[in-house]
Homo-oligomer: A and B are copies of this chain.
Amino acid sequence: MKRYNLCLLGYGNVGRALVALLVKKSEAMRELYGIEWRITGVATRRMGWLASPEGFEAEALLSGEAASKALSPPPSNVSEWLRAARADVLFENTSLEPHTGEPAVSHVRAALESGAHAITANKGTVVHAYRELNELAREKGRRFMFESTVADCLPVFSLFREDFPAAELLSFSGLLNSTTGIILEEIERGGTFDEGVRRAQAMGVAETNPSYDVDGWDSTVKACAIANVLMNAQLKLEEVQRVGIRNLDAREVLEARAAGRPYKLVARAERTRDGRIKAVVRPEQLPLTDPLVGLDGSSLAVHFELDVLPGLTVIAHNPDVQSTAYGLLADFINAVR
């Protein structure tokens, strides 16, 4: 039996769902993998920098009462906080800044430098610093894990790490963004673009300003993450040809659905003959025979072409915040078992 000190940096919906899931899965983790845990650090803008090497009561964290354990004076940096909490694992769940990946990249770096495993749902770390952070993790004998960055707990990275060792990924395509899926679905049901945005917001999927989703940035960042990790590319965001769904009008969307070739915001990447990776994010009309066409708007899916299998499709139907949290939990179990 090994016990791990867990720290959460960022404690919003996903962080809270993770704590609840850790509690729910405690017995299974102990029995199946000999893993015990306690949460020794939580840091958020609202609660401050909390650290308690003996561990917080999960109940106190879920109810928000743990704020009394805020370090005073506050730590001067993340490393100091991780030391105070004697962290074995950092869950990095701060908000994405797509163009630099900061401050998440620095948080992950600090965790690995301090000898903790770093697990994140922040895709900026993968797009902007995958090689550096992966190399650092290797040097330190720790793991940098990021399964939840692309499609919640839908296996993408673990699929190639575990299920398809030594296989070669030739190309992929996918529906990587829920917000645009929900908007297009709303329009197909006779609603408006704005109604779709509001539904995605009500589901907790879209931000207040949905332009990051609508203009294809989220899909672009995810496509780069997949290409860079699984196809050994060094694709930059600006190299991806990117068209969002903002200029699709409702009539086009309705006509396409009526004609049996509905629009989806599709991300695609393939290795070209000269060995480069070409990636595109844009609305495409897919045939009804495509397994991605009948999915609910919030569902996520990736289709892979491998050298050992003509096609492999994985679909997450209606993932929710618990699914994202589970992606983090699975990373934790796989990092330490």
Task: Enumerate chain A interface residues (CB-CB to B < 8 A).
Answer: 21, 25, 28-29, 32-33, 152-155, 158-159, 161-167, 287-295, 299, 308-320, 322-323, 326, 329-330, 333-334, 337
Contact = CB atoms under 8 A, between A and B. Distances in A.
B163 A158 contact: yes
A293 B290 CA distance: 9
B163 A163 contact: yes
B323 A317 contact: no
A29 to B, nearest CB: 6
Closest 6 CB pairs of A and B: A311-B317, A289-B294, A162-B162, A291-B291, A155-B163, A308-B326
10 contacts: A21-B308, A153-B308, A155-B159, A167-B330, A288-B294, A291-B291, A291-B292, A291-B294, A308-B322, A310-B323
Given A32-B165, A166-B28, A288 B288 contact: yes
Given A308-B21, A315-B311, A316-B312, A166 B33 contact: yes
Given A162-B334, A163-B162, A166-B32, A318 B311 contact: yes
B312 A315 contact: yes
How many copies of this kind of chain does the complex include? Answer: 2
Contacts of A337: 165
A329 B163 CA distance: 11
B317 A314 contact: no
Nearest to A291: B291
B309 A323 contact: yes
A308 B323 contact: yes
A262 B32 CA distance: 41
A316 B311 contact: yes
B319 A165 contact: no
B291 A330 contact: no
A292 B315 CA distance: 11
Contact of A320 (B290, B310, B322, B326): B310
A333 B33 CA distance: 21
Contacts of A334: 162, 165
A301 to B, nearest CB: 8
A162 B323 CA distance: 16
A169 to B, nearest CB: 13
Contacts of A159: 155, 163
A255 B191 CA distance: 34
A322 B168 CA distance: 14
A185 to B, nearest CB: 12
A314 B311 contact: no
Nearest to A162: B162
A163 B320 CA distance: 17
A199 B21 CA distance: 49
Contacts of A319: 309-310
Contacts of A309: 152-154, 316-317, 319, 323, 326
Contacts of A294: 287-291, 293
B166 A29 contact: yes
Contacts of A21: 308
Contacts of A292: 291
Contacts of A315: 291, 311-315
Contacts of A28: 166
